[in-house]
Chain A
Amino acid sequence: MVAPLWLAPKERLQDLIDALRQRQYTVVAPVVDQAAIVYDEIDHIDRLPRGWIDSQAAGHYRLQPTSRDRWFDFVVGPDSWKKYLFPARCVLSTAKPLPDGWQFESAADDSPAYAFLGARACELAAIQVQDRVFLEGPWIDQIYQHRRSRAFIVAVNCTRSGENCFCVSMRTGPACHSGYDLALTETDEGFVVDIGSERGGDLIASLRLPEAPLEKCTAARLSQERAAMQQSKQMATGDLPNLLMTNLEHPRWKDVGDRCLSCTNCTMVCPTCFCCSVDDVTDLNTGAVERQRQWDSCFHEEFSNLNGRPVRNETRSRYRQWLTHKLATWHDQFDTSGCVGCGRCIAWCPVGIDITAEVAALREAPVRCPA
């Protein structure tokens, strides 16, 4: 175990950004845009959401200024790192017309090597979930692999929990334990830096930081514990897969189906949802065809179309698919829950449907109709 280092004053974070950029990383970090904190490419600390926090509830998100000089007191917004590792739109292959047929080629992914600055514990967990989906099955997603293998992760330990956070009950946070190259914990005067990989250690060595004083390490640990204590939302996970799969005909599915807009927002903001669709885009002038992959959603009516009709033809069956996949069958498929407790689906549901409340309702009155 390498001793934590001390990055102070906080403006020295620029040195870290510079070191990453020197090593040809494109640095992506939280920024304020469109009335929210989203992830974007940055080259200077000025763009970080210093002094901003988010106020969240079910179906509600607002930015607020804070009087404290805090750089990372907000929690997670609508974006997740999946937009860089599993892009919303990409070209998979191309088909060029030849005189006697078609020439098929894989599309090159010319994405840069990314450095993610500010990944939270639940987000590290989400990346690890998607690793299992895209890298550990019989088939490997080349685009994800290409981007993931080169990504450098500077995590940030949460020192404040949001109203929708339930990472404690999902055992994914708020403190980062693995899956990062470097992890920062913000204190009043600076950042305690934990080294999580050899690559992280090499990079931070170039900043010639001192070891973090004991009281800073203690302050950092206490603030993480405080964040955990702040969480009031929780998901009871005990025997959850079995509870859900034995309640596939529960009346609650109709109840939530009546409230759900089937708008796809929960799945789009979810950092682990991986559903996608593939369509052809033809250039009519040249006849060349691109095969494009886009994010899609099990809430999209046509998603389950078979011979022109959806298998999951009602909102209740689509909500049931999402919830049972995320919390039950994900375990069968990938040996992990698909939920990391980030709360995005709760915040960004336009009508504020709360996944933890739906599970609690099923748990309260199970009907046990076996599947």
Chain B
Amino acid sequence: MARKPRVAVMKFASCDGCQLSLLDAEDELLAVCDRLDFVYFAEASSVLQPGPYDIAVVEGSITTVEDEQRIRELRACSTRLVTIGACATAGGIQALRAWGDSQEWIRTIYPRPEYIHALATSTPIAAHVLVDYELHGCPINAHQLIEVLIAFASGRSPNIPAHSVCLDCKRRGTVCVMVARGQACLGPITRTGCGALCPTYNRGCYGCFGPVDGGNAPPLLAEFRRQGHAAEQLVPLLRNFNATAPLFREAGESLLDNPTDDR
């Protein structure tokens, strides 16, 4: 049998939740370790081997000059680079600084602000280096990560669906919270991955897995507003974990450009 692929799990600006979700997948963890050699995984082991790596799993966004350098170095010593989670694929919640004064926040929050050297932006990994595969979600779905890892270990492309959350609601028999309750739900323009968790608990989707490819936000926003949802409520809905993902960013901006109710 060929040697097991060497895998590094690396963290940038993030909460660690995505890499922890892999450790939470207890039923499959041993089987995964049979197929892959985790040589750098700080959350799991203090033995941290240097590259080169066959697969680099990257969590977190780029928020410092050091990050920019480190991701280039990681890319250079990795055959495949997979980004996981909203931070790594879209900039994460910390990308909200795009709409605030980050210097002002740093001065307010930190007792010694001069130690903080953060960029004015939080950007996805793909804005800096070539990414072989992006796995979305806040947090990611651990089963999807396992599928990605097993697929790359087997030399095939991962089988990760890319439809909207609505399909999951219907498959599991969840009644549409938008049509039956008038809630603002991002499900129709959000990528699957969570299994329609929020609508199943009677609340609208807030887009953890980011925009679905080809998502069509303008008619959905128009319908939200026709139903009486104000722009002030909808902008925060669009601006959370995937705030700077292009579809959500543009949708939020369109609401602010035209804040009056269409009715």
Q: Is B66 an interface residue (CB 8 A)?
A: no
Chain A, 21-50, CB within 8 A of any chain B CB: 33-36, 38
Q: Which of B11-19, B101-109, B118-126, B177-185 contacts A (4 or more CB under 8 A)?
A: B177-185
Are A351 and B181 in contact, CB atoms less than 8 angstroms apart? no
Q: Is B188 an interface residue (CB 8 A)?
A: yes
Q: Which residue of B lies closest to A282 (CB)?
A: B150
Q: Is B162 an interface residue (CB 8 A)?
A: yes
Are A264 and B223 in contact, CB atoms less than 8 angstroms apart? no
Chain A residues whose CB sits within 8 angstroms of the CB of B215 once the complex forms? 261
Q: Is B83 an interface residue (CB 8 A)?
A: no
From the candidates B159, B161, B167, B223, name the one contacting A350 in the complex (CB within 8 A): B223
- Give chain B nearest CB distance to A273 CB in angstroms: 10
Q: Is A263 an interface residue (CB 8 A)?
A: yes
- Give chain A nearest CB distance to B192 CB in angstroms: 10
Chain B residues whose CB sits within 8 angstroms of the CB of A38 once the complex forms? 173, 175
Q: How far is the CA of A258 from the CA of B222 in the complex (A)?
A: 12
Chain B, 202-222, CB within 8 A of any chain A CB: 202, 213-216, 219-220, 222
Are A315 and B214 in contact, CB atoms less than 8 angstroms apart? yes
Q: Is B253 an interface residue (CB 8 A)?
A: no
Chain B residues whose CB sits within 8 angstroms of the CB of A265 once the complex forms? 166, 170, 176, 188
**Total contacting residues, chain A, CB less than 8 A:** 45
Task: Type the 1/0 row for B28-39, where 1 means its CB is closer than 8 Å to any CB of A.
Answer: 101110000000
Q: How far is the CA of A259 from the CA of B214 in the complex (A)?
A: 13
Chain B interface, >50% SS class: helix
Q: Is A12 an interface residue (CB 8 A)?
A: no
Q: Interface size for chain B: under 10, 10 to 19, 20 to 34, or 35 or more residues? A: 35 or more
Q: How far is the CA of A62 from the CA of B175 in the complex (A)?
A: 12
Q: Which residue of A lies closest to B218 (CB)?
A: A258
Are A264 and B167 in contact, CB atoms less than 8 angstroms apart? yes
From the candidates A78, A258, A280, name the one contacting B219 in the complex (CB within 8 A): A258
Chain B residues whose CB sits within 8 angstroms of the CB of A350 once the complex forms? 166, 176, 178-179, 185, 188, 220, 223
Task: Type the 1/0 row for B147-179, where 1 means its CB is closer than 8 Å to any CB of A.
Answer: 000100000000101111011001111111011
Q: How far is the CA of A351 from the CA of B220 in the complex (A)?
A: 6
From the candidates B146, B163, B175, name the one contacting A78 in the complex (CB within 8 A): B175
Are B173 and A348 in contact, CB atoms less than 8 angstroms apart? no
Q: Which of A151-159, A168-176, A200-208, A295-303 contacts B (4 or more CB under 8 A)?
A: A295-303
Are A34 and B174 in contact, CB atoms less than 8 angstroms apart? yes
Chain B residues whose CB sits within 8 angstroms of the CB of A34 once the complex forms? 174-175, 180, 202
Are B179 and A264 in contact, CB atoms less than 8 angstroms apart? no
Task: Type the 1/0 row for B189-206, where 1 means its CB is closer than 8 Å to any CB of A.
Answer: 100000000000010000
Are B32 and A284 in contact, CB atoms less than 8 angstroms apart? yes
From the candidates B146, B175, B179, B187, name the one contacting A284 in the complex (CB within 8 A): B146
From the candidates B28, B162, B179, B202, name the one contacting A61 in the complex (CB within 8 A): B179
Task: Type the 1/0 row for A336-356, where 1 means its CB is closer than 8 Å to any CB of B.
Answer: 000000000001111110000
From the candidates B31, B146, B150, B214, name the one contacting A301 in the complex (CB within 8 A): B214
Q: Is A79 an interface residue (CB 8 A)?
A: yes
Chain B, 2-61, CB within 8 A of any chain A CB: 27-28, 30-32
Chain B residues whose CB sits within 8 angstroms of the CB of A297 once the complex forms? 163, 167
Chain B residues whose CB sits within 8 angstroms of the CB of A294 once the complex forms? 171
Q: How far is the CA of A83 from the CA of B173 in the complex (A)?
A: 9
Chain A residues whose CB sits within 8 angstroms of the CB of B213 once the complex forms? 301
Chain A residues whose CB sits within 8 angstroms of the CB of B31 once the complex forms? 284-285
Q: How far is the CA of A302 from the CA of B164 in the complex (A)?
A: 11
Q: How far is the CA of A301 from the CA of B216 in the complex (A)?
A: 12
Q: Which residue of A lies closest to B25 (CB)?
A: A284
Are A35 and B181 in contact, CB atoms less than 8 angstroms apart? yes
Are B164 and A285 in contact, CB atoms less than 8 angstroms apart? no
Q: Which residue of B lies closest to A353 (CB)?
A: B219
Q: How far is the CA of A333 from the CA of B30 in the complex (A)?
A: 49
Q: How far is the CA of A300 from the CA of B165 in the complex (A)?
A: 11
New A-B pairs, 17, CB < 8 Å, besides A35-B175, A261-B220: A33-B175, A34-B175, A34-B180, A78-B175, A79-B173, A262-B214, A264-B164, A264-B166, A285-B28, A295-B170, A296-B167, A300-B167, A301-B163, A302-B163, A350-B179, A350-B223, A351-B220
A-B contact pairs, 25 of them (CB 8 A): A33-B175, A35-B180, A35-B181, A38-B173, A38-B175, A60-B179, A78-B175, A88-B172, A89-B171, A258-B219, A259-B219, A261-B164, A261-B189, A261-B220, A262-B164, A265-B176, A282-B150, A285-B27, A294-B171, A296-B167, A302-B162, A315-B216, A347-B179, A351-B219, A351-B222
Chain B interface (Cβ < 8 Å from any Cβ of A)? 27-28, 30-32, 146, 150, 159, 161-164, 166-167, 170-176, 178-181, 185, 187-189, 202, 213-216, 219-220, 222-223
Q: Which 6 A-B pairs have the closest CB atoms?
A: A268-B170, A284-B31, A263-B188, A34-B175, A263-B166, A261-B188
Chain A interface (Cβ < 8 Å from any Cβ of B)? 33-36, 38, 59-63, 77-79, 83, 88-89, 258-265, 268-269, 279-280, 282, 284-285, 294-297, 300-302, 315, 347-352
